[in-house]
Structure 1
Amino acid sequence: MKRTSLPPRGLSDRQISNNDTPTLRLYQVWKGNNKFALRGRLIFGSDARSLYLTIFLIVVPVILFCSLVSQSLVNYFPKNIGLLLVAIPAVFTLYILVLIFFVAARDPGIIPRNPPSPDLDDDWDASSMSTDWAATQSGKYLPPTKSLNVNGTMVRVKFCQTCMLYRPPRCSHCAICNNCVDRFDHHCPWVGQCIGKRNYRSFFMFVSSLAILCTYVFAMCWINIIMIMQENSSGIWEALMKSPISGILITYTFTASWFVGGLSAFHIYLVITNQTTYENFRNRYERRKNPFNHGCAQNFKEVLFSKIPRSQNEFRTFVRPEVYTQYNSSRYFGYAFSLNFSKKSYETETSIDGIELDLERCDTSGTDHSSKWVTAPDLHRLASKFISENVNKDKEKRQGV
């Protein structure tokens, strides 16, 4: 199939849809803030550049240890044991870098978005559309939340106005990556990626392995200092002056151990109780039962030893771009949140004390967006507040005159 490029910038959605636009891959028109590599095979978060800092903070101390401190350990210990002590941190670091790659470059469990309307694409599979979205297209009112029965406990789920779907249980919308993520734990700034159902295990192994590596380097540096003290019959300060790198690494790994060690212990607690960081910080199960808690052993098996589910998105599949280029949450909701009701988009008809407004009228494009207003009751409240403020200002002006 012939390779295609993205539509030129500056064209409106209507211009793009009217043109004979070639077929593009899903990752090329994806509305999230993700960054893709290798033509959609790898998906990173919006702040993936933080990976450089994280890798630097891990690799540089290990290089200093293996190149400067380990030479003394090789001389102090038998040859085979000394070489093994040097090889352990090097191999462990490579293992940690692989885990970072699995955490940062994998789909964390992004829930597919609903397109604006199935009428935009004749080839669109209607069976893939959720019944909730079909309800919005038919003009029915969708409540902002609804309740589901999960293991005998009622769980409330919210409607996402960005992704146009009811979020599954334990799903949350990440404001940084602009995606709904299944079993959302948190957005990790150190790897620049959301932590969700598909990469939580790799994240847990990454954090715990990093804690072990810090402890190992910390202990080996202390052993090196003690051996220098015994060999030269000197005090600790003289030994630190002879091997200043050991002192620097001791301070660095001690500080890092508190951070990654405490984080590892916290996530062990979360695994035992089958919680996410997001749920724990929100105190979701402080006053009610956790419907996902099946006991310590079963929780460990479910979180750490269960099969990683397949990604729900095929980012390399070819799609009709107008299905996604015409969908923009700000197009439907941005006018209300910015308090910018332009005459071009919304005509005025209803009169309230001299101020004419009609929030149910659509733009002149002929597409009925009234259902979008129906699905967002908060916008009505915001618009009402806007109306009342202008009415009060108008009255004050009249009284002043």
Structure 2
Amino acid sequence: MQNQMMYSAPQRSLSNRRIIDTRGQSKRLYQVWKGGNRFFLGGRLIFGPDVRSLVLTILLIVVPVIIFASFISQRLINEFQHHLGKLIVAIPVIFMIYVLCILFLTSGRDPGIIPRSTHPPESEDDGDACLSIDWAGNQGPTSSLPPTKDVLVNGMVVKVKYCHTCMLYRPPRCSHCSICNNCVDRFDHHCPWVGQCIGKRNYRFFFMFVSSTTMLCLYIFAFCWVNIKKIMDAYQCNLWRAFLKTPMSAVLIIYTFIAAWFVGGLTAFHIYLISTNQTTYENFRFRYEGKVNPYDLGWAKNIREIFCSRIPSSHNNFRARVNEDFASSTASLPRGHVLSPEIAKASLTIDMGSKRQAVAADEFEDIQNQIGLERSRSQARHSNWVQKGNWEIMPDMQALPSEFGMEHKGFTDREKISH
């Protein structure tokens, strides 16, 4: 009866309304995702938070091809016989479509996001004390969790760091992107031109994009000079007069020259990274300066690893329903109760680089009455630290009261009332 009266209260907080809405209808994972990603088509496409920059990139690719096809093509079609001129004009248009498809595959897919844990793992050192229940409020040196762990990779010891935002030990070569707010497997860099992180699942397409764009720029650059040469021969004029007769050719020559230096230099740099099996992040931080790279298998095997290996499946199913099964896999709740990740996002967000958002104790008590949350304990599984192990951390809701500054007494009293 008390629960019914509480549900009919006219004043409800934002967190309470979210709980009631979640109980009434399930949501999909992308709707409650904590990262800064943008989702389209019902979670089928995932972009970075700076997806708008993708429009500028598309314009920088499409506009020069349109200018080439509109202002340069007519003379080339007339100069070359046997439909060769039409083929010369058609090639950059087809190539442009190919580049846009590769760009779409780079920016519109999961780059290799590692799922977050809902609770910090317990310390694996048997000599240490148990993890303090107010660990989340004291993310300092007093925590019993070591900041790094040693992992064996190809017979060499590699240190992996603990991520305070995702509350897990990152897999080898994984890093947290501050822009997308996700841990990304084999993190290379965040590219603003494609509006997405570059990681294990889209690095191949990123390299294909920059290399294809380089070839497209060189193609237009070369045939603009061919057009200039044809005008100089036809009118018996110098280079300056030829530029005046076809100013768009001059514009495209300057534009593609600058663009080719940019994307061409990027292509050459990534050829070096691929041949030595490095990432941009590792190279810029001199990760293997004076050290042996444990991932370097020789240039032939390194290239084969990037282009001939199978792209791993995504760790996340963004269209999955946030239902009872999902809740039970992320929190120790009684059967029949659902803990929406939206609630976790509203009240349990713990970011190392941002201020911790607390929820008042009385609001938290009201939430517990409405969803009937009972005390539960769950043992966090100790991970087996191998190169391709299971990196997910089982949650422990024991620390939930301390996150909100609650005492166990309040929960005990509620259990007595409910009984």
Normalized against structure 2, the TM-score is what? 0.73
Aligned equivalents of 2:16 and 2:184: distance in 1? 30
Kindly indicate whether residue 67 of structure 2 is the aligned counterpart of residue 64 of structure 1: yes
Paired AA for residue 251 in structure 1: I
Say if 1:27 and 1:316, in contact at 8 Å, map to a contact too.
yes
Paired AA for residue 161 in structure 1: H
Deviation at 1:196, TM superposition (A): 0.4
SS at match of 1:326: helix
Aligned equivalents of 2:358 and 2:321: distance in 1? 36
Which runs of no fewer than 5 residues in structure 1 stay unpaired? 1-9, 118-129, 346-359, 369-401
Aligned equivalents of 1:309 and 1:61: distance in 2? 36
Aligned position for 1:162: 165
Partner of residue 37 from structure 1, selected from 34, 37, 40: 40
Deviation at 1:322, TM superposition (A): 2.9
Aligned position for 2:339: 322
Counterparts of residues 207-356 of structure 1 (less than 5 Å): 207-320=210-323, 322-328=339-345, 331=348, 333=350, 338=355
Say if 1:228 and 1:239, in contact at 8 Å, map to a contact too.
yes
Residue 17 to residue 89, structure 1, CA distance change in 2 (3 Å): same
Aligned equivalents of 1:31 and 1:342: distance in 2? 18
Kindly indicate whether residue 179 of structure 2 is the aligned counterpart of residue 176 of structure 1: yes
SS at match of 2:278: coil
Say if 1:132 and 1:166, in contact at 8 Å, map to a contact too.
no
The one-character-per-residue Cα deviations of 1:215-262 (angstroms, maximum 9, x if unpaired) are 000000001001100111100011000000000000000000100000
SS at match of 2:150: strand
Residue 68 to residue 308, structure 1, CA distance change in 2 (3 Å): same
SS at match of 2:160: strand
Deviation at 1:13, TM superposition (A): 3.5
Aligned equivalents of 1:42 and 1:168: distance in 2? 25
SS at match of 1:149: strand
Deviation at 1:22, TM superposition (A): 2.3
Partner of residue 46 from structure 1, selected from 37, 45, 49: 49
Deviation at 1:327, TM superposition (A): 2.7
Partner of residue 26 from structure 2, selected from 15, 23, 44: 23
Aligned equivalents of 1:161 and 1:335: distance in 2? 6
Say if 1:186 and 1:195, in contact at 8 Å, map to a contact too.
yes
Partner of residue 156 from structure 2, selected from 153, 158, 163: 153
Aligned equivalents of 1:334 and 1:29: distance in 2? 17
SS at match of 1:177: coil
Aligned position for 1:106: 109
Aligned equivalents of 1:82 and 1:40: distance in 2? 44
Aligned equivalents of 1:309 and 1:168: distance in 2? 15
% same residue:
53
Residue 367 to residue 48, structure 1, CA distance change in 2 (3 Å): farther
Aligned position for 2:188: 185
Say if 1:177 and 1:194, in contact at 8 Å, map to a contact too.
yes
The one-character-per-residue Cα deviations of 1:164-189 (angstroms, maximum 9, x if unpaired) are 11000000000000100000000000
Name which of structure 1's ranges 100-109 and 333-342 shifts more when overlaid on structure 2: 333-342
Paired AA for residue 344 in structure 2: Y
Normalized against structure 1, the TM-score is what? 0.76
Residue 308 to residue 337, structure 1, CA distance change in 2 (3 Å): closer
The one-character-per-residue Cα deviations of 1:341-393 (angstroms, maximum 9, x if unpaired) are 99969xxxxxxxxxxxxxx976454479xxxxxxxxxxxxxxxxxxxxxxxxx
